[in-house]
């Protein structure tokens, strides 16, 4: 007499495999349905708005959830709607019943560059910059482009008029709220006295000649060394506070530092090498911008730890700057059109990922209004 139905181990294995296959098929069908919804929404959107506006609104799907992004100039949902940005509820009415609480996903990206992080400048669940990542742009596949500004330095290189200024401007706009809160301090080196002059109010100091630049960089390195000594035995990774902020050194035209006389150039190399080596743990980061990717022009180029933006440049120059892994996954900055300034490839060595994106244009007025102190 049998005590029950006996199912061999391979039977259970087959049952589990069948359930997994069913789950995958159901998810695939749902994703295909969602993609059809996105395509239909885009078609409807194109028929409703002017050409100059419709191309500025982006729709996408991430981790099972949808998001909408619009330019930073449209600093609230009402204005975006007037210019053709359909809301999540208009596009996906079946997914608006407490979607964030139910599924825990971001459903839209905030209009980057808003003057504050309140309800007027975004919606609940909106993607925004944090002390770990800066929301730089959206890539060509609709995914967000994040800059790690807690553990990674950043090197941005591109030919003249490639749009490096747009990258810097976007980063400064994203950093401003944290600067105002005292959690981030910015320091700048701009030997051309041009790129950082528009936004100088958000910096604690900006050096515009070789002598003051050398003093600033050396002081930055000394402060980093002192912090490392203070952290010894207490913490291995720096956490920004008002009393111990994250310090970011922004250097425009990095190669210019190494065109000085030999003694000065060697000192810059010594100080920057130390910052690139120790800064990650102590909360002292370097953002470098340059037109020339050559090692002889930027001796510290290879010390940037795995986060680079390659904008328009020649193929030979790109292969000098980017690791072979970036090229294997499709990074091709030489193919960027001269008519698309602000376009670049972000390479993240930790994720082994290259993203093609175009940074939004930031006007002069927005940069001039950036401030290191909050408005009264």
Question: Which of residues 170 and 131 earns the better pLDDT score?
Answer: 170
- Minimum mean pLDDT among 41-45, 212-216, 311-315: which range? 41-45
More confident residue, 41 or 240: 240
pLDDT band at 126 (very low <50, low <70, confident <90, very high): very low
Q: In this predicted structure, what is the pLDDT of residue 32?
A: 58
- Average pLDDT of the residues of the chain: 77
pLDDT at 60: 53
Structure-token pair, residue 272: 């920057």
Q: Does the pLDDT at position 355 exceed 60?
A: yes
Let me know whether 121 and 167 are in one domain: no
- Banded pLDDT at 42 (limits 50, 70, 90): very low
Stretch 195-217: mean pLDDT = 93
Go through 188-202 and write b for each residue having 16 or more CB atoms within 10 A of its CB, e for each that does not: bbbbeeebbebbbeb
User: Percent of the chain having pLDDT more than 90?
Assistant: 44
Other CB atoms within 10 A of residue 156 CB:
25
Same-domain check for residues 67 and 215: no
The 10s digit of each residue's pLDDT in 82-92 is 545 555 455 44
Shared domain check, 114 and 222: no
Q: Tell me if 21 is assigned to some domain.
A: no
Least confident of 114-128, 259-273, 322-336: 114-128
Closest CA to 215 of 179, 189, 185: 189
Shared domain for 111 and 174, answered yes or no, is: no
Which of 64, 96, 128 finishes a domain?
A: 128
User: 343-348 and 307-311: which strand pairing?
Assistant: antiparallel
Tell me: the pLDDT tens digits for 136-167? 888 887 788 889 898 899 999 999 999 999 99
Phi first, then psi, for residue 33 (nearest 5°) are -65, -40
Residues 158 and 101 occupy one common structural domain: no
Highest mean pLDDT among 69-78, 261-270, 362-371: 261-270
Domain assignment present for residue 26? The answer is no
Same domain? 119 vs 162? no
Domain span at 237: 148-368
**Per-residue model confidence (pLDDT) at position 156:** 97
**Confidence category of residue 54, pLDDT binned at 50, 70, 90:** very low
Instruction: Give the per-residue pLDDT at 24.
Output: 86
Same domain, 180 and 274: yes
Q: Answer whether residue 212 shows pLDDT above 80.
A: yes
> Tens digit of pLDDT for each residue in 291-304?
999 999 999 999 98
Q: Phi and psi dihedrals of 175, rounded to 5?
A: -80, -25
Residue 75, pLDDT above cutoff 70: no
In a domain, 65, yes or no: yes
Mean pLDDT of 226-236: 92
Among 100, 128, 156, the domain boundary falls at: 128
Pick from 29-33, 245-249, 326-330, 346-350: least confident: 29-33
Asked whether residue 49 falls in the same domain as residue 84, the answer is yes
Number of domains in the chain: 2
pLDDT of 206 higher than 50: yes
The whole-number pLDDT of residue 121 equals: 30
pLDDT, average across residues 112-124: 29
Asked whether residue 109 falls in the same domain as residue 257, the answer is: no
- Among the three residues 128, 158, 185, which one is the final residue of a domain in this structure? 128
State whether 102 and 152 are in the same domain: no
- pLDDT score for 128: 56
- With a pLDDT cut of 70, the percent of the chain lying above it is 71
Residue 70 has pLDDT above 80, yes or no: no
Is 271 contained in some domain? yes
pLDDT band at 169 (very low <50, low <70, confident <90, very high): very high
Three-state SS annotation for 94-148: HHCCCHHHHHCCCCCECCCCCCCCCHHHCCCCCECCCCCEEEEEEECCCCEEEEE
Average pLDDT, stretch 67-96? 48
Q: Are residues 217 and 158 in the same domain?
A: yes
318 domain residue, yes or no: yes
Residue 136, domain member (yes or no): no
The predicted pLDDT at position 184 comes to 95
183: its two tokens: 């959690």
Structural domain contains residue 16 = no
- Residue 338 domain flag: yes
Vertex 189: Cα angle to 277 and 300 (nearest 5): 30
What CATH number did the domain enclosing 345 receive?
3.40.50.300
Same domain assignment for residues 92 and 211:
no
């Amino acid at each position: 007499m049998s005590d029950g139905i006996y199912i061999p181990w391979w039977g259970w294995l087959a049952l589990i495999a069948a359930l997994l296959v069913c789950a995958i098929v159901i998810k695939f069908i749902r994703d295909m349905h969602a993609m059809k919804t996105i395509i239909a929404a885009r078609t409807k959107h194109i028929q409703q708005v002017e050409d100059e506006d419709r191309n500025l609104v982006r729709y996408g799907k991430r981790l099972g959830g949808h998001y909408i992004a619009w330019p930073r100039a449209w600093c609230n949902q009402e204005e975006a709607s007037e210019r053709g940005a359909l809301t999540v509820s208009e596009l996906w009415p079946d997914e608006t019943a407490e979607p964030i609480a139910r599924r825990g996903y971001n459903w839209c990206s905030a209009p980057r560059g808003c003057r504050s992080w309140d309800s007027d400048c975004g919606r609940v669940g909106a993607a925004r910059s944090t002390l770990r990542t800066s929301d730089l742009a959206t890539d060509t596949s609709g995914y967000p482009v994040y800059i790690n500004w807690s553990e990674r330095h950043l090197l941005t290189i591109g030919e003249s008029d490639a749009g490096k200024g747009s990258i810097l401007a976007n980063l400064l706009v994203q950093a401003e709220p944290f600067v105002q809160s005292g959690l981030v301090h910015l320091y700048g080196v701009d030997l051309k006295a041009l790129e950082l002059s528009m936004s100088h109010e958000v910096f604690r100091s900006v050096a515009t000649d070789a002598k003051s630049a050398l003093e600033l960089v050396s002081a930055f390195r000394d402060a980093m060394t002192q912090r490392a000594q203070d952290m010894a035995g207490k913490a291995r990774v720096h956490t920004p506070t008002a009393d111990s902020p994250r310090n970011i050194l922004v250097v425009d035209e990095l190669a210019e530092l190494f065109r000085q006389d030999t003694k000065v150039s060697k000192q810059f190399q010594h100080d920057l090498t130390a910052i690139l080596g120790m800064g990650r743990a102590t909360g002292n980061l370097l953002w470098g911008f340059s037109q020339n990717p050559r090692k002889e022009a930027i001796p510290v180029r290879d010390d940037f730890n795995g986060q680079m933006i390659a904008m328009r440049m020649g193929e030979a120059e790109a292969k000098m700057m980017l690791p072979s892994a970036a090229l294997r996954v499709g990074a091709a900055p030489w193919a960027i059109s001269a008519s698309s300034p602000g376009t670049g490839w972000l390479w993240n060595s930790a994720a082994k990922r290259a993203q093609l994106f175009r940074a939004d244009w930031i006007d002069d007025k927005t940069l001039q209004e950036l401030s290191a102190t909050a408005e009264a």
